[in-house]
């Protein structure tokens, strides 16, 4: 019962803060009509929907359909008990003979820009047409996983006229993650196509922007809706990571609750702590604001300020969470589809972690929101103060629960 209560709590948390429009998104332009139909399970697709068709579209089937290779909610819950699964050794994320970085050292300070002007390259080979980039993203950066050492990272930058703004070994990606700057104003889609011509680059993505699902104008009613039997609800010995805003760890409701903290954006001053504090309190708060899984230990990663974060920062927070050997990761944010995020989520699931994310507050006709729409992530949409489905709540076959 303790483990079930914790995962139910996490589902509630993902949909607790509601109402604010998330980032503008567009549907994946690479989807065929058949794939769109398969994702939405329309009658037009019918029995022709196969596993590949659904997965190539980036979605996942609903809990009521047994096809499509989806990971269903019962399978995710059963991971939590009776005993933690054996943890496979992740792919090496660092050169042989070195230990993986721990805690705040896993995100080094951005490398200083190279001295002198950068000459824009000419005559670069395009391995593919310039990519159409959807959603909100940092306009002068790209994220790339690179096979090779620091020398290879710099050679790629020199060849393509880019700046190495940061690089680190990613635990969940199993390789070097580089944040390249684009100093000459080339479109992100063009640079991604140019990078594809270099065989040392493995994955190439925009540095997408993600938004917390929060609204300052709506009173938090979540604590009032908790109606658990306190004798049966328990989170004892369950380690939960929360990726959110900063927190007020002096709040009496969090006394003895926070087992570890990590700041994934240390160079950005903390201005707001209310969202993260509320989420942690809803999980394992004590005293007057008792949480839904009392006794759980929270590993809190600060990755949002002003309701926004970037893919690079979120991946840093996820890597840290994986290093803490947590059982559940709560992600109350939504943004565009990004292959790096999808890979990190897939590898976290392979390590036995249960992932819970907000489906989004963009309305019933909105495109799928990520990371919630990735296979293996419990997607949760929102209910209102009267337990009805909230009008702004995202809907779709990828949603597991509303809470």
pLDDT per residue as tens digits for the range 329-347 = 999 999 999 999 999 999 9
Provide the token pair at 337. 């589809």
Whole-number Å distance between alpha carbons of 160 and 331 = 35
pLDDT digits (tens, 9 = 90+) for 31-77: 444 444 444 443 333 444 444 444 333 344 333 333 333 333 334 44
Report the SS3 class of residue 341: helix
Report the range out of 25-29, 79-83, 252-256, 261-265 with the highest average pLDDT.
261-265
Residue 251 phi/psi, 5-degree rounding, is: -60, 130
Whether 364 has a pLDDT exceeding 50, the answer reads yes
Query: Within 10 Å of residue 383's Cβ, how many Cβ atoms?
Result: 20
Per DSSP bridges, beta strands 308-310 and 328-331 are unpaired
Q: From CA 149, how far away is CA 203, in angstroms rounded?
A: 16
Mean pLDDT of 262-273: 94
For residues 233 and 9, give the distance between their C-alpha atoms in angstroms, rounded to a whole number: 10
Q: What is the pLDDT of residue 33?
A: 44
Give CA–CA dist 142/179, Å, rounded: 6
Per-domain residue ranges of the chain: 2-25+57-88+212-402, 103-208
Degrees, nearest 5: CA angle 350-328-253: 165
Q: Indicate if the pLDDT at residue 24 is higher than 50.
A: no
> Is pLDDT of 86 > 70?
no
**SS3 for 333?**
strand
Q: Average pLDDT, whole number, for the chain? A: 76
* The pLDDT value given to residue 359: 86
Alpha helices, DSSP H only, in 83-173?
Answer: 150-160
Q: With a threshold of 0.75, does the pTM exceed it?
A: no
Binned at pLDDT 50, 70 and 90, residue 12 comes out as very low
Number of C-alpha atoms within 13 angstroms, CB side, residue 225? Answer: 18
Question: Which CATH number describes the domain made up of 2-25+57-88+212-402?
Answer: 3.40.50.200
CA distances to 62, 226, 249, 397, 402 from 38, in Å: 11, 36, 45, 10, 22
User: What pLDDT is stored for residue 290 in this prediction?
Assistant: 84
pLDDT greater than 60 at residue 155: yes
């Amino acid at each position: 019962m303790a483990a079930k209560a914790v995962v139910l709590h996490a589902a509630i948390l993902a949909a607790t803060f509601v109402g604010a429009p998330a980032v503008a998104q567009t549907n994946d332009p690479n989807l065929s009509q058949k794939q769109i139909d398969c994702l939405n399970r329309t009658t037009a697709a019918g029995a022709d929907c196969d596993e590949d068709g659904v997965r190539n579209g980036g979605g996942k089937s609903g809990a009521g359909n047994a096809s499509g290779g989806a990971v269903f909610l019962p399978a995710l819950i059963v991971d939590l008990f009776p005993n933690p699964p054996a943890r496979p050794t992740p792919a090496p994320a660092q050169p042989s003979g070195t230990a993986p970085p721990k805690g705040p050292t896993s995100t080094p300070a951005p490398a200083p820009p190279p001295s002198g002007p950068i000459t824009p390259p000419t005559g670069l080979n395009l391995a593919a047409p310039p990519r159409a980039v959807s959603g909100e993203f940092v306009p002068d950066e790209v994220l790339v996983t690179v096979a090779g050492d620091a020398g290879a990272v710099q050679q790629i930058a020199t060849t393509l006229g880019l700046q190495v703004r940061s690089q680190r070994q990613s635990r969940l990606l199993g390789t070097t993650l580089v944040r390249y700057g684009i100093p000459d104003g080339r479109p992100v889609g063009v640079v991604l196509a140019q990078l594809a011509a270099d065989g040392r680059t493995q994955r190439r993505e925009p540095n997408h922007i993600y938004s917390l699902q929060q609204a300052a104008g709506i009173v938090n009613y979540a604590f009032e809706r908790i109606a658990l039997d306190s004798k049966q609800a328990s989170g004892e010995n369950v380690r939960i990571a929360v990726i959110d805003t900063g927190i007020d760890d002096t709040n009496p409701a969090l006394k003895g609750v926070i087992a570890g903290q990590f700041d994934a954006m240390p160079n950005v001053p903390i201005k707001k702590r209310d969202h993260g504090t509320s989420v942690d309190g809803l999980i394992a708060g004590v005293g007057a604001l008792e949480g839904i899984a009392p006794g759980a230990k929270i590993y809190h990663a600060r990755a949002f300020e002003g309701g926004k974060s970037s893919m690079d920062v979120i991946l840093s927070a996820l890597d840290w969470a994986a290093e803490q050997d947590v059982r559940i990761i709560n992600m109350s944010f939504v943004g565009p589809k990004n292959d790096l995020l999808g890979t990190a989520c897939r590898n976290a699931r392979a390590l036995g972690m249960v992932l819970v994310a907000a489906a989004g507050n963009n309305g019933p006709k909105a495109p799928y929101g990520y990371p919630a729409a990735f296979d293996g992530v419990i997607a949760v949409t929102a209910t209102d103060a009267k337990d009805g489905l909230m009008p702004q709540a995202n809907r779709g076959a990828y949603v597991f629960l509303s809470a």
